[in-house]
Amino acid sequence: MSLPLEINNLRKLYKGGTVEAVKGVSFNVNPGEIFGLLGPNGAGKTTIISTITTLEQPTTGSVNVFGVNVAKDPMFTKKQIGVVHQEVINSGFFDVEEILTFHSGYYGLRKNKERIHFLLNKLALFEHRNKKVKQLSGGMKRRLMIAKALVHTPKLLLLDEPTAGVDIRLREDLWKFVVELRNEGMSILLTTHYLEEAEQLCDRVGIINLGSLMALGNTKEIIRQYTHKKIRVILTERHPLQSPYLVETVGKEYMFIVPQNKSLGEFLNETKVPMELIKDVHIEEGDLEEAFLKITSKQEAQVPL
């Protein structure tokens, strides 16, 4: 079976070749997964999304959606994907339901009221369906963009920073909806700045920096690979502890930064912590933000992994 999205060695040059926005990037989106494309500003995320939606042509390399090269059959691609861009629509003349009806027409769906009402309900827009776009709040406009992307029930959804500038409550509702869509079998590619949410939501992530893919894989494995475990040992009395992982001692509290693959038992044995002196042990696992910073910064880790 062909994959929802296959990007092979994608390269994109701008300005007559003087700007290399994407430098040979390859990754796939698997069926029914949420894939997070993460990277700092200017990393190349929007350029990649634009090549998938055929707004931009790859300089070299290929983008396939459900097995079909997007540059060769843009109409096929448009039917398979739904896109939520960063910009918010501002066509003030029509009301919410009219916009969704016209947009359905664009896909040849003339009787789409049931789907439109389903989406309006899901996105808490039903009671606002007769409002003109200019009467909507920023959050409502954003939800309308998502409804628009979904009118034709796409199989692959592209979300480019869908929650930028959206308040926390709405963000949580949107993410819940995205998980629901995934659970129903939709494949989702999203770019986001909110790494905590990416960690909760994304089955896999790709981290790009300056146009190159720096890490790709299962979110939990990436965290394990690029982060350390912080172990804080609190003793009942001061005791000299020898360890290459000791980073700070404050009174009877000792802070260690330890490789992820080292178990607590192994660590306590190696460090020769007298069991009878242990009052408490706290373990803090690494998170995606820590992994992201490690991957995107040029600094080497101070502690060997």
The footprint of ligand ADP (CB under 6 A) covers 14-15, 19, 21, 39, 41-47
Q: Least distance to ligand ADP from the beta carbon of 46, Å?
A: 3
Q: Say how many Å lie between the first and final Cα of the chain, rounded.
A: 38
User: Closest CB to ligand ADP among 151 and 207?
Assistant: 207
Q: Which of 226, 203, 242 is nearest to 293 (CA)?
A: 226
Q: Least distance to ligand ADP from the beta carbon of 156, Å?
A: 19
User: Closest CB to ligand ADP among 164 and 246?
Assistant: 164
Q: Least distance to ligand ADP from the beta carbon of 208, Å?
A: 7
Whether 171 contacts 142, CB under 8 Å: no
User: Closest CB to ligand ADP among 249 and 297?
Assistant: 297
What whole-number distance in Å separates Cα of residue 77 and Cα of residue 54? Answer: 8
Q: Least distance to ligand ADP from the beta carbon of 268, Å?
A: 43
The beta-strand segments (E) located in the chain are: 5-14, 19-29, 34-38, 60-65, 68-69, 81-84, 156-160, 187-191, 204-209, 212-218, 228-235, 246-250, 253-259, 278-284
User: Closest CB to ligand ADP among 162 and 286?
Assistant: 162
Query: How is residue 17 annotated by DSSP?
Result: G
User: Closest CB to ligand ADP among 100 and 157?
Assistant: 157
Per the structure block, which two tokens stand in for 285? 């696992």
Q: Least distance to ligand ADP from the beta carbon of 297, Å?
A: 16
Whether 107 contacts 115, CB under 8 Å: no
Q: Least distance to ligand ADP from the beta carbon of 40, Å?
A: 7
The SS3 assignment for 40 reads: coil
User: Closest CB to ligand ADP among 41 and 242?
Assistant: 41
Whether 71 contacts 58, CB under 8 Å: yes
Q: How far is CA 133 from CA 112, 127, 148, in A?
A: 20, 13, 13
Q: Least distance to ligand ADP from the beta carbon of 45, Å?
A: 3
User: Closest CB to ligand ADP among 27 and 254?
Assistant: 27
What whole-number distance in Å separates Cα of residue 98 and Cα of residue 130? Answer: 8
